[in-house]
């Protein structure tokens, strides 16, 4: 029987927990939701946001913890909505982004994910994942969450994240890349044998 | 001769210092820029952002401090850009807001300002100012900063903040209201005689 390593995930987003656990199951890692408050600072840098959240959370929770932050960065909108993607999604939705992108033909964008880990004994370690793609011209698909229905990752034959099955999305998504990097590092450096 | 009360203002925005000092001069108060880093959390509430920034700053600076945060809340955009106005201005500018407001006839909006004060002996005290108005259909005027050129305050005869002289703006601006409340409180409760 394989031991499961359980780690606290400081987040209020159940979609993220589901996605991360789907990706991390192959490494024998299970994330469980932490109910401590996540503090996020305002910054252009996902890394700075994650590091601050980790250092804040580790003071409250004397345990292994994971913090994740991600954002959609649109080239012709100067990187908007970036680290504020979740807020912008709640306020404007996918339609707000499509409105801002009206009459803009260069639709390049990227999704970036930063995963941070620390424990009472281990200083923050950071893992990155980037997925390049384009903003679609309309909302398409039903899987995923947030801006998934308007993001077409490269090499998806023109399908949005929301038109891919969850497992297909994980293969090249920013979150898939970052959490797999973390999983590999964790089983090689931390996991109990 | 009148004594001038000097207080640190934790901000990187020189426009705000200029505006606040214009308003506070009648109370014998002068704000000087503090060079400590301002930490702002991500929150829907300006009050929470200001309180967190105050408590963070007071640990670094053993002195009287002021923190201010303000935002433009647009009714039909669910309060966007709100507490993230500064970030959104940098990324999208006034034109981004005008694009989002295309074909929207209800253009009601408000500017809100929260001023916070604390000292090593005094817990945070918070002052509010709200200015109601509408989003214009085009950029107008040359005074002020940020979204001033597209905000028409009520009772300005249709002029935007940027078309008013600085002194006229102060009369009914969110920042004018909040800083005058602070100034009155300060001379009645704190100022050295």
Q: CB contact, 8 Å: A79 with chain B?
A: yes
Question: What would the mean pLDDT of A37-65 be, rounded to a whole number?
Answer: 93
Task: Sort out which chain B residues have CB atoms less than 8 A from A81's CB and list them.
Answer: 91
DSSP calls for B18-54: HHHHHHHGGGTEEEEE--SPPP-B--S-HHHHHHHHH
Q: CB contact, 8 Å: B98 with chain A?
A: no
For residues B131, B133, B138 and B144, what is the CA-based torsion angle, rounded to 10 degrees?
-20
pLDDT of A92 higher than 50: yes
Q: CB contact, 8 Å: A187 with chain B?
A: no
Nearest by CB to A91, which of B42, B78, B87?
B78
Cβ within 8 Å, pair B77-A84: no
CATH architecture entry for A5-189: Alpha-Beta Complex (3.90)
Least confident of A103-107, B13-17, B20-24, B108-112: B13-17
pLDDT of A191 higher than 90: no
Q: pLDDT grade, residue A37 (50/70/90)?
A: confident
Task: Sort out which chain A residues have CB atoms less than 8 A from B52's CB and list them.
Answer: 39
CA closest to A89 among chain B residues: B80
CA closest to B102 among chain A residues: A99
Q: How far is CA B170 from CA B19, B47, B140, B144, B176, in A?
A: 8, 21, 18, 10, 5
Cβ within 8 Å, pair B39-A39: no
What does the alpha-carbon distance between residue A139 and residue A165 come to, in Å, rounded to a whole number?
A: 16
pLDDT at A5: 85
What are the structural domain ranges in chain A? 5-189
pLDDT digits (tens, 9 = 90+) for B72-88: 999 999 999 999 999 99
What does the alpha-carbon distance between residue B85 and residue B93 come to, in Å, rounded to a whole number?
A: 10
- State both tokens at A112: 């970036």
pLDDT of B53 higher than 50: yes
Instruction: Give the whole-number percent of chain A exceeding pLDDT 70.
Output: 97
Decide: B89 and B32 in contact? Cβ < 8 Å: no
pLDDT at A23: 95
What does the alpha-carbon distance between residue B10 and residue B39 come to, in Å, rounded to a whole number?
A: 10
What does the alpha-carbon distance between residue A109 and residue B76 come to, in Å, rounded to a whole number?
A: 27
- State both tokens at A167: 């497992």
pLDDT at B60: 92
pLDDT digits (tens, 9 = 90+) for B158-174: 999 999 999 999 998 99
- State both tokens at A131: 């997925």
pLDDT of B189 higher than 60: yes
Decide: B115 and B127 in contact? Cβ < 8 Å: yes
Instruction: Give the whole-number percent of chain A exceeding pLDDT 90.
Output: 89
How many CB atoms within 10 Å of residue A174? 25
Q: pLDDT grade, residue A82 (50/70/90)?
A: very high
Q: CB contact, 8 Å: A75 with chain B?
A: no
Question: What would the mean pLDDT of B138-156 be, rounded to a whole number?
Answer: 96
Instruction: Give the whole-number percent of chain B exceeding pLDDT 90.
Output: 89
pLDDT at B1: 46
Q: pLDDT grade, residue A1 (50/70/90)?
A: very low
Decide: A7 and A31 in contact? Cβ < 8 Å: yes
pLDDT digits (tens, 9 = 90+) for B23-39: 999 999 999 999 888 89
Beta bridge partners of A66: A9, A117
């Amino acid at each position: 029987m394989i031991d499961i390593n359980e780690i606290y995930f400081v987040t209020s987003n159940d979609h993220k927990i589901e996605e991360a656990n789907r990706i991390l199951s192959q490494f024998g890692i299970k994330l469980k939701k932490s109910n401590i408050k996540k503090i996020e600072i305002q910054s252009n840098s996902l890394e700075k946001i994650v590091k601050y959240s980790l250092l804040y959370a580790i003071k409250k929770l004397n345990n292994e913890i994971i913090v994740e932050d991600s954002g959609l960065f649109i080239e012709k909108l100067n990187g908007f909505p970036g680290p504020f993607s979740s807020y912008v999604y709640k306020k404007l939705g996918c339609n707000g982004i499509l409105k801002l992108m009206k009459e803009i033909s260069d639709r390049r964008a990227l999704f970036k994910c930063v995963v941070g880990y620390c424990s009472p004994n281990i200083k923050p370690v950071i893992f990155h994942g980037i997925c390049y793609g384009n903003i679609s011209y309309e909302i398409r698909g039903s899987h995923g969450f947030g801006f998934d229905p308007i993001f077409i990752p490269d090499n998806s034959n023109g399908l949005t994240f929301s038109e891919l099955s969850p497992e297909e999305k994980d293969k090249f998504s920013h979150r898939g890349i970052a959490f797999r990097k973390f999983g590999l590092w964790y089983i090689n450096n931390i996991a109990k044998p």
